[in-house]
Structure formats: C-alpha cells, structure tokens
Amino acid sequence: MKVLVLNTGSSSIKYELFRMDDWQSLTEGIVERIGERSSERADRGEGVERGDVEPVADHHQGMRRIGQMLTESQALTNAGELFAIGHRVVHGGDEFQKPTMIDATVIEAIRRQIPLAPLHNPANVIGIEAASAAYPGVPQVAVFDTAFHQTMPPHAYRYAVPEFVYREHHVRRYGFHGTSHLYVAKEAAKHLKRSLDSLNLITLHLGNGASVTAIENGQSIDTSMGMTPLEGLIMGTRCGDLDPAVVFYLATALRVTNDELESMLNRESGLKGICGDNDMRLVLQRMADGDSQARLAVEMFAYRVRKYIGAYYALLGSVDAVVFTAGIGENSPRVRAACCEGLAPLGIAIDPQRNGDVCGGNREIREIQSEQVACRVLVIPTDEELEIARQTVEVVTTSHIV
Ligand code: ADP
C-alpha cells in the first residue's frame, strides 16, 4: 500500500508518494501556477517532466492532473493502492495537538484558524476538498505545523498583552516547522540510541524560513516562531524579532498601510533587507568576495541563532545535542561554525574538520562536535514529507475507521 502526501499552496500543489513497506519515496512533483499558465513537474518514477502545459483552472483540476501523473509514472496504478492521504496544514491553532483524521468537523476547525493564517489555511482546505473529490473513500489526515509545539507551557506561549486579547482573539505563540523539528528529533534519538523522551535537544531549522526549538524530554517547551512565522530568527526575507513599536513608527513615518508593512516585514526584510539577497549561497559568495553588507547579514543571522541557543540552554539546563537541519543548516559549514562560535563554555563546540568534511547532498546523519565537549552537534537532513506520511499511517492505523 502507498501514502500520498500533499502540500497545497494558494497556486500550487506539491505531492510525494511513499511505499509503506519500506518508506521509499516512489515519485514526487508539483503542479504550479494554478489559475494562470500552469506548469507541472514529476521528478522521479518514470521522470515525466514538462513545463508550460495547458492551463490548470483550479485545485480540483490540479488534483486530477496529479492523479494522471501518478498513473503515467506507474507509481500508482489504481486508487485502491492508496492507503491514505496526508495533508500538510500550516495552522492548527490551539485546537489540534496532534495529527488528525479529517472529517467535516475537522475541516470546519481548520477554517476557524484562517484569521491566524490567512495565506495558508484557505489553500490547505481547498487541497483537502480537491483530494477528497479525486479519491473518495481514501482516509485523509491533517498534519499540522503547529501541533508539536502545543506542549509549550503558558509562560512560554503567552504574550504579555491584556488577557482578553488572548482569550477572545487567540493571540499567543503557536510555533511552526513542527513536523521538521519532530522529524529531526526522532532521527537524533535513533542515531544516539536513546528514547526521544529521555533527550534534551536544541533543533535549528535553518532554511529560507528559520526557527529553533527547545526540546525537553522529547517535548517542545519553547520555539522561536510565534503567533505567525514572522517572529524569532532572521530569515531569507522575514525580519524575525523586532521591537513592535517599529511597526507603529513606520506606519506614520512612511504613511503605509498594514498590508504594505506586513509585506515589507515578511518579504523585503531578513537577509534580503540587510544585503539585497535572500539566498544564503549568494550571500556567502558575496561575503567571500569582500562585500561588507553580505558579511553583516551573515553575522546578524548567526548572532541571532547564538542568542537563542544560549537562551534555550538556560531553559533546558543540560543539552544532549544541538541539531542543524534544512537548506542552510544541512549545507553550510560556514554558517554552522558562526552559529556555535564562543559557545564552548556551554559545552557546545564544532570540530572544524568534521564540520568542513560534510559535503552537500549527503543524506546521512553526521556528528560535527569537537572531541573536547560533551554536547553532540548533529547535522540531520530533514524530511517533512516522510514525517507526514508516517504520521498519516499511524493516525489511520490507530483509528477505528480502517
Ligand atoms: P525552504 O524554507 O524554502 O524549504 P530550504 O530548506 O530549501 O528552504 O533552504 C533554502 C536556503 O538554504 C537558501 O537560503 C539557500 O541558499 C540555502 N542553501 C542551500 N544550499 C546551501 C549551501 N550549500 N550553502 C549555503 N546555503 C545553502
């Protein structure tokens, strides 16, 4: 049997199909620019690859195209082979602590979170509806980016704002990237031959979006993203932590609307705001060529990560491993070294040779700590789709429906 994982955005649907026996990925691809001049790509299986195909009018049609692509690549010969479909859902608010079998009530609850995630949750609901229509009767599961962080205690997730703002408007910290933090935490436990619930970890998801999580005895007790993914670390185009008064100041000084400010802080800030480029590879190249703005961007990025490692170390008391993951965390020895610089007094230090030996594209778990320190420093490639697939199967297997 097979599991299909779907990640639906406002104009795209990404998919990956796994075989349950051995969790092998059979094929993956994307239908994008839905509603415009669409393109599609299937990267594995028979390697169907094309751009600029006939327009896909909406997500329902996009889902039917995915069905055809799965059949064409022979990864899925008939719908009967499909055990379940797992959906990435960005915001579960405080209603979802774990992955959940989807029914009408659950769709309603995901809709209720739309004010908290206006860009993502509407698309997620459409994806669920399109998949139910294309594969009627196949169990569907929602896996939430926020769920892993629902174990945060109130002193970590509350903002110091008037009580009614929390009670009536649900303004609190939720955290994101939960599927990735949980996946690498489980992989770290396997690698260290320990049970996850005996481990204290600091997991660093450093990609275009970036966040850090403090994991105590296997549970998230704090994370850097907040009510939205804007809080915390410096990211490709997001500012991360910022004095909220800057927003009021800019609204007056620039005479801009809320939407314009939101767009500036989400899409024009972070690495891009500091040096003009949001892609860390380019930023590092410019820094190597002597560009001072690029150097400042990398220094600010790493400085913010170090502050969080220090803060989370203080919360945890002892740390078994610091884990680097996602595009930057997995591939950049330079940034990893900068993030751990000066942390030897906490028992966190990287061996330059082990760090440098790590070549991109290697999917193995690697240990890069210095011999002199107790805390492991691990590089673990993340795989959110695989984690969604596994959680989907677990939910369906433990439910009474199948
Ligand atoms: P997303 O959040 O879009 O999934 P990724 O996890 O793919 O992002 O990470 C994208 C980031 O990783 C980009 O900033 C990219 O430049 C960076 N990255 C990828 N490979 C390298 C590398 N070899 N060195 C430095 N940065 C890298």
Average pLDDT over residues 393-398: 96
Cα-Cα end-to-end distance for the chain = 13
State if residue 179 touches ligand 1 by the CB under 6 angstroms criterion: no
**Rounded Cα gap, residues 13 and 127, in angstroms:** 8
Q: Choose which residue among 14, 179, 328 to substitute to test ligand 1 binding: the one with the highest number of ligand atoms within 8 A of its C-beta.
A: 328
For ligand 1, the distance from its centroid to the CA atom of residue 208, given in whole angstroms, is 6
Band of residue 358 on the pLDDT scale cut at 50, 70, 90: low
Q: What is the pLDDT of residue 35?
A: 82
Lowest-pLDDT choice from 135-149, 228-242, 351-365: 351-365
Lowest-pLDDT choice from 183-187, 190-194, 215-219, 373-377: 373-377
For ligand 1, the distance from its centroid to the CA atom of residue 326, given in whole angstroms, is 7
Q: What is the pLDDT of residue 361?
A: 61
- CA-closest residue to ligand 1 atom 27: 328
Structure tokens at 175: 């955290």
Q: Which tens digit of pLDDT belongs to each residue from 294-338?
A: 999 999 999 999 999 999 999 999 999 999 999 999 999 999 999
Lowest-pLDDT choice from 48-52, 153-157, 226-230, 384-388: 48-52
- Strand-pair partners of 141: 86, 101
Enter the DSSP assignment of 44: S
Q: What is the pLDDT of residue 43?
A: 62
**Rounded Cα gap, residues 379 and 195, in angstroms:** 19
Mean pLDDT over the full length of the chain: 93
Q: What is the pLDDT of residue 363?
A: 82
Structure tokens at 394: 């677990």
State if residue 279 touches ligand 1 by the CB under 6 angstroms criterion: yes
Average pLDDT over residues 275-282: 97
Asked about 145 being catalytic, the answer comes back as: yes
Burial class of 137 by CB neighbour count within 10 A (0 to 12, 13 to 18, 19+): exposed
Q: What is the pLDDT of residue 381?
A: 97
Structure tokens at 173: 């910290």
Q: What is the pLDDT of residue 45?
A: 45
Band of residue 44 on the pLDDT scale cut at 50, 70, 90: low
State if residue 207 touches ligand 1 by the CB under 6 angstroms criterion: yes
Band of residue 91 on the pLDDT scale cut at 50, 70, 90: very high
Q: Name the more confident of 16 and 54.
A: 16
Q: What is the pLDDT of residue 47?
A: 45
State if residue 381 touches ligand 1 by the CB under 6 angstroms criterion: no
Is the pLDDT reported for residue 46 higher than 60? no
Percent of the chain topping pLDDT 70? 94
Lowest-pLDDT choice from 4-8, 68-72, 357-361: 357-361
